[in-house]
Structure 1
């Protein structure tokens, strides 16, 4: 598992810390967590190798839909973690899992474990 890379796109530092803690508690030092607060930085991070991603929709320089589209196209599992309404997601991305804020750390951990092959996807509630 030493090559697990998780992208977290969140512009609120407290929520980013909660997401980072939820993933780190599950994976420990076995994962590299890439935490960014903007679409520009997320775009850059998405061009590298990733295991999965947690995307807020509205961040400092726009919406993450372009990043989500790229991740979907290259087959990287991701989830929207947002206070936005699910209806705001463009139709081609509406089948993507959506966790509404406030999220539970159990949901975050279950998504990450399923994405990296640690849990069957049916266990994501």
Structure 2
């Protein structure tokens, strides 16, 4: 793995409803070497964007304009795609039991921490 592009070759879905945050996430992941799918602002758009696409992982904002990303997370589980939740929620009660132990980053977070979380998606590839 190349130091200048630690996530080189990983195809990662970005789901975030805040336009500027989504662009920033996508730019940072691209700079780290990712092939970014999206960003998608909703579960429906994310499902459309990943139809027929092989993913290495996903970054999912929990609250998408009042819609929760958990149905998308369920779909990713069935595909065997790892993900990390991004959340502004302090309480874990927002998370269904199935996702209580899922990786999550609390907003705001440092990009370095996100890059480290996404790098864990690659563990099974090499």
Aligned counterpart, 1:33: 37
Pairing 1:21–2:12 present? no
Deviation (angstroms), 1:20: 1.3
Aligned Cα root-mean-square deviation (Å): 2.0
Deviation (angstroms), 1:46: 4.0
* Secondary structure class of the residue paired with 2:38: strand
Aligned counterpart, 2:49: 45
Aligned counterpart, 2:78: 73
Counterparts in 2 of 1:32 and 1:15: CA distance versus 1, 3 Å: closer
Is the contact between residue 8 and residue 20 of structure 1 (CA under 8 Å) also seen in structure 2? yes
Show CA shifts across 1:18-72 (max 9, x none).
2112212211xx5233210011112223443211000001113611100001112
Aligned counterpart, 1:110: 116
More helix by share: 1
Is the contact between residue 46 and residue 67 of structure 1 (CA under 8 Å) also seen in structure 2? no
Matched ranges for 1:49-68 at <5 A: 49-60=54-65, 62-68=67-73
Deviation (angstroms), 1:74: 1.9
Counterparts in 2 of 1:61 and 1:42: CA distance versus 1, 3 Å: farther
Which runs of 5 or more structure 2 residues have no equivalent in the other structure?
Answer: 1-7
Aligned residues: 115
Is the contact between residue 37 and residue 49 of structure 2 (CA under 8 Å) also seen in structure 1? no
CA distance in 1, matches of 2:74, 2:50: 11
* Secondary structure class of the residue paired with 2:123: coil
